[in-house]
Amino acid sequence: MADQPAKSRFRIFVTRPIVDGPFSQLNNCDLEVWNGDAPPTYEQLSEKVRGVDGLICTITDNIDDKLMNAAGPQLKVISNYGVGFNHIDVAAATKHGIKVGNTPDALTEATADIAAGLILMCARRLMESSLSIPKGEWKTWEPLGFLGHDLAGKTLGIVGMGRIGYALARRFARGWDMKVVYTSRSDKPDANRDLGAKRVSLDELLAVSDVVSVHTNLSAETKYLFDKSAFAKMKPSSIFINTARGSVHNQKDLYEALKNNVIASAGLDVTDPEPIPLDDPLLTLSNCVILPHIGSATFETRTRMTQIVVDNLKAGLAGQTLPCAVN
């Protein structure tokens, strides 16, 4: 059979409107951007990917083997708008010869800022005290009102000392003189040397930390890592922060731990499921601060993410190694 002529134009489907300045660099592509208020359903996405050469997707899309089959054999590259890729069946993509890319580094500082903000909100009861004002509860300066906890000199436990974990540890080791302990699959010489951090077992971290912040990727190993037994090992005065993925904690166990003062408070940028159902009991607690998954939500960060998504897409369409390759 004669060789097929190389394609000169490519069809791309983008599953959500994203900050799109760098799209102007895709001059050999015809882009269709989903413009529904909600993400496409699995069925809608299966229809839209049919015949595309490239797919730009996000965390809300379930990209599995069946969807790749629905797309067809011309699909070359899946360029994910985000660093976590637990919603993509990477093994299936590799089997189909599809390259998968993500956006590490670009969102590290923005996400660490959100974790830092949640720590301050919990330690100093910022949400509760601010919400008391429109309720008319600020009557006078209160010597005993909204007492929180100092952070300076306390211990920060980082579960998953990767890019975001390190960026958070750097903020609090240098800015607040916090001691840092961490768990990771491997030792982190930079953190040990530059931040005076110490790698410990998870049990030791839970026992000694005043703040426990989770930064692992979601995997079979880390799913529900924070359950009843983990919370029971933490100090009653401690703060739990999750900006990684909602199912790294067991949400019912977290509610019980907060309700029964097993731990003092929690700050979450991620929930299980997302969005959190309005009847979830966590929403009734004043010691739980929840944000709607805004870790990377800055103009600068989201623009950098689009640039990487475009670079990955271009490389994938050209049959080259992706600058930020997952497989």
Q: Where does this chain bind ligand NAP (CB under 6 A)?
A: 83-84, 104, 107-108, 111, 159-165, 183-186, 215-219, 221-222, 243-245, 269-270, 293, 295-296
User: Which CB, 125 or 293, lies closer to ligand NAP?
Assistant: 293
Q: How far is the CB of 27 from ligand NAP (least distance, A)?
A: 30
How far the first Cα of the chain sits from its last, in Å, is 30
**CB–CB of 262/107 below 8 Å?**
no
Question: What is the number of the residue whose Cβ is closest to ligand NAP?
Answer: 162
Task: Single out the catalytic residue among 87, 96, 215, 293.
Answer: 293
User: Which CB, 222 or 312, lies closer to ligand NAP?
Assistant: 222
Residue ranges in 14-80 assigned as alpha helix (H): 42-48, 65-71
Cβ-Cβ contacts under 8 Å for 320 (sequence gap 6 or more): none
Q: How far is the CB of 206 from ligand NAP (least distance, A)?
A: 12
Tokens 């703060």 belong to which residue?
Answer: 239
**CB–CB of 56/309 below 8 Å?**
yes
Q: How far is the CB of 295 from ligand NAP (least distance, A)?
A: 2
Look up 215 and say whether it is catalytic: no
For residues 236, 274, 221 and 213, what is the CA-based torsion angle, rounded to 10 degrees?
-40
Q: How far is the CB of 311 from ligand NAP (least distance, A)?
A: 17
Nearest to 291 by CA among 267, 312, 311: 267
* Residues linked to residue 213 through DSSP beta bridges, in sequence order: 158, 241
Nearest to 53 by CA among 18, 16, 98: 98
The set of catalytic residues is 293
